[in-house]
Amino acid sequence: SAIHAIQTQIDKLRAYPDPSYQELKRALSLAHPPLTPEWVLPGNGAAELLTWAALDLSKLDKTYLVTPAFGDYRRALQTFTANVIECPLIIGRSQLPQLEIEAGTNKGLLLNNPHNPTGMLMKREAIVPYLEKFSLVVVDEAFMDFLPLPQLESLVPLVKEFENLVILRSLTKFYSLPGLRLGYAISHPERLREWQQWRDPWPVNTLAIAAAQAVLQDQAFQRLTWDWLADARSQLFQGLAELPGLQPYPGAANFLLVYSQKSVDWLQTILLKRHKILIRDCLSFPELGDRYFRVAVRTKQENQMLLDALTEILK
């Protein structure tokens, strides 16, 4: 649906897109009833919107960052010299770390749910207490669309209750459109109006707008993805768990984090050389290093190809 929508909009490239993105905001808000368009701000990928969230966080005395964390979080926070305090997760435990909060401090919290790279899904009720303690809570829900509706752990239903809540969402991961760069923020309209004043004009191009409006209506694709993903993820998890020297961790998204007793650099090299299969190392996550890798959940046939290759190497 996205490709067809893009093809039908080629002629519109002769004109600028609507700078206010009213139709796109309306389409995005309809995906999160009862939100109205002013609660949504489209961006050039969630990464662009993360930059403005980091600018807001940098104005606070401290920002607590749940780690291991997506590298772009540090990039954005360092850009504005935010005072960052890292809060490490215990990998394999599905709960937030206990944050030692100083009374009276002007502080923020940045986390993602489901968590990248562990795949851990945090309960909504576990995050709510922090909304009452922090001046600003930014929750990156880039992988939330991989959970079937009604996505009970999403914080979107709380955004009208908590003005200090910002939610970042991505349309490129679930719909496999990273080249289009399209994400959106959900927050109080006053905050989003301020962000709009900071950014470059026309951050979302005409083709990305067309693709977004198409995929948001593509319920058949959404159901198909939810249906195959759960079974394929279970198959991959069980297969990895049976291999010597590997320990996969349960995940709620479209990937699994795996601990390896052997060097991942060695394993990655052998897999690529012998089987033309590439796994993602976790060297970009300083807390994980060379003993963890992240693997995407693919079709059952593709998953089995990976499992067979790992079996040949490890057994």
Please work out, in degrees rounded to the nearest 5, the angle formed at the alpha carbon of residue 278 by the alpha carbons of 273 and 280.
135
Average pLDDT over residues 143-148: 95
- pLDDT value of residue 238: 98
Yes or no: say if 120 and 252 are a contact pair by the CB < 8 Å rule.
yes
Q: What values do phi and psi take at 201, rounded to 5? A: -70, 155
| Alpha-carbon span 164 to 296, nearest angstrom | 33
What is the band of 87 on the pLDDT scale with cuts at 50, 70, 90? very high
3-class secondary-structure state, position 169: strand
What crossing angle do the helices spanning 264-275 and 300-314 adopt, rounded to 10°? 110
For residue 303, which of 280, 281, 269, 277 has the smallest C-alpha distance? 277
Flag whether pLDDT at 181 surpasses 70. yes
Residues 6 or more apart in contact with residue 266 via CB below 8 angstroms: none
Q: What is the pLDDT of residues 15-28, one digit of tens each?
A: 888 889 999 999 99
- List the chain domain ranges: 2-217, 220-314
- pLDDT value of residue 224: 93
Flag whether pLDDT at 103 surpasses 90. no
Structure-block tokens of residue 308: 């067979």
Residue whose structure tokens are 């600003």? 136
Q: Please give the class, per CATH, of domain 2-217.
A: alpha beta
Please work out, in degrees rounded to the nearest 5, the angle formed at the alpha carbon of residue 33 by the alpha carbons of 31 and 39.
85
Flag whether pLDDT at 314 surpasses 90. yes
What is the band of 96 on the pLDDT scale with cuts at 50, 70, 90? confident
Give the mean pLDDT of the chain.
Answer: 93
State how far the alpha carbon of 123 is from the alpha carbons of 96, 99, 128, in Å: 9, 16, 9
Helix (H) or strand (E) holding 313: helix 300-314
CATH number, domain 220-314, options 1.20.59.10, 3.40.50.10440, 3.40.1160.10, 3.90.1150.10: 3.90.1150.10
**Sheet with strand 246-248: strands edge to edge:** 246-248, 255-260, 289-296, 280-282
What is the band of 154 on the pLDDT scale with cuts at 50, 70, 90? very high
Average pLDDT over residues 142-157: 94
Q: What is the pLDDT of residues 25-73, one digit of tens each?
A: 999 999 999 999 999 999 999 999 999 999 999 999 999 999 999 999 9
Q: What is the pLDDT of residues 182-196, one digit of tens each?
A: 999 999 999 999 999
- pLDDT value of residue 73: 97
Flag whether pLDDT at 149 surpasses 80. yes
Flag whether pLDDT at 93 surpasses 80. no
- pLDDT value of residue 144: 97
State how far the alpha carbon of 82 is from the alpha carbons of 59, 136, 195, 299, 303, in Å: 7, 13, 17, 41, 41
Average pLDDT over residues 2-23: 85
Helix-strand-coil split of the chain, %, nearest 5: 45, 20, 40
For residue 12, which of 213, 232, 307 has the smallest C-alpha distance? 213
- pLDDT value of residue 4: 84
- pLDDT value of residue 177: 86
What is the band of 142 on the pLDDT scale with cuts at 50, 70, 90? very high
Average pLDDT over residues 251-264: 97
Average pLDDT over residues 86-99: 82
Flag whether pLDDT at 143 surpasses 70. yes
State how far the alpha carbon of 238 is from the alpha carbons of 116, 247, 282, 304, in Å: 20, 10, 21, 11
Q: What is the pLDDT of residues 217-245, one digit of tens each?
A: 988 999 999 999 999 999 999 999 999 99
Residues 6 or more apart in contact with residue 136 via CB below 8 angstroms: 56, 57, 60, 108, 109, 164, 166
Find the distance separating the first CA and the last CA of the chain, reported in whole Å.
Answer: 43
| Alpha-carbon span 112 to 66, nearest angstrom | 8
Task: Note the pTM of the prediction, 2 decimals.
Answer: 0.94
